[in-house]
Amino acid sequence: MYATDLRVVAGDATLLGPVALTVGAGDWVNVIGPNGAGKTTLLRALGGLADFAGRVDHHGKPLEALSRRERARGVGFVAQSPTIPAGLTVEQYVLFGRAPYLRPLAAEGPYDFEVVARTLAELGLAGLSEREVQTLSGGERQRAALARALAQEPRLLLLDEPTSALDIGHQQEVLELVDRLRRDIGLTVISTMHDLTLAARYGDHIVMLASGQVVASGPPVQVLTGPHLAAHYGARVDVITHRGQLAVVPIREDGTPSSLSAPQPSPRTKEHRDARTQPR
């Protein structure tokens, strides 16, 4: 997919743009930037969920030329805080992802249930299929929202902060699953992320936004630099390589990494502690 001269305007304010973006089939692009940079606005415009000026093409067709059903079949969108109707079980909620493939008033068939069951299993939700979504933890609800989008069998997956509610273990599970689907079926992924280390690990290309403009774009090693992060995030960081992967490490005001800045016990404190442990 690609976008040219993409702009989103609200009244007299330009929220985004102009932005140009090209994403190949099977690519994973991570969109980063400080709060208010326009990341979610960009994602919503690319999915046709926000009014925009300019042009967005999905697989060679202008977005506005696609029917709502065609968009829903081709594009899965996972919001950072998805709206989930009350009273639905996890299975019922994920079945909504099959709606674009059903004729009016038609019921789901065996293949629809097969897709849902497989998706729930892949996301570790099979044991929760009969639970009401509203009773799940925040991380479980986020995985259910991702399952609904994947049940659409989309060609393009738009993820708005997909791991914000997940612990580190489930972050890895979800991102590895998305990466495997990208490789296995050519799924194209565009994701917004706050965690810059994860953005570097999962993705071929990074787009940095600031004030609605693209201020850096390219491979992680070109975008995630100290000068870029200082200029647009106001952050003091070191960008290091660990086991061949980039990691962004915050730096304290005294110039040391946070993990190295904890005060160490003074010799007197240590001697006092040793004396207290001696037998009397």
Looking at residue 185, its pLDDT comes to: 86
> Under a CB-based contact definition with an 8 Å cutoff, are residues 202 and 178 in contact?
yes
Average of pLDDT values for 173-182?
A: 89
What band does 268 get if pLDDT is binned at 50, 70 and 90?
low
> Under a CB-based contact definition with an 8 Å cutoff, are residues 63 and 156 in contact?
no
The CATH architecture to which 2-219 belongs is: 3-Layer(aba) Sandwich (3.40)
Q: For 154-166, what is each residue's pLDDT tens digit? A: 999 999 998 887 8
Label residue 97 exposed, middle or buried (CB < 10 Å: 0-12, 13-18, 19+): buried
Q: For 64-103, what is each residue's pLDDT tens digit? A: 999 999 999 999 999 988 888 889 999 999 999 999 999 8
Task: State yes or no: pLDDT of 111 exceeds 90.
Answer: yes
Q: For 46-57, what is each residue's pLDDT tens digit? A: 999 999 999 999
Enumerate the domain spans of the chain. 2-219, 236-280
Distance of CA 94 to the CA centre of its chain: 19
**209: nearest Cα among 73, 69, 15, 79:** 15
Percent of the chain with pLDDT over 90: 67
Average of pLDDT values for 26-32?
A: 96
Rg (the chain; Cα; Å) = 23
Looking at residue 82, its pLDDT comes to: 83
Looking at residue 233, its pLDDT comes to: 95
Across 38-42, 139-143, 200-204, which has the greatest mean pLDDT? 38-42
Give DSSP secondary structure letters for 106-170: PPP-HHHHHHHHHHHHHTT-GGGTTSBGGGS-HHHHHHHHHHHHHHT--SEEEEESTTTTS-HHH
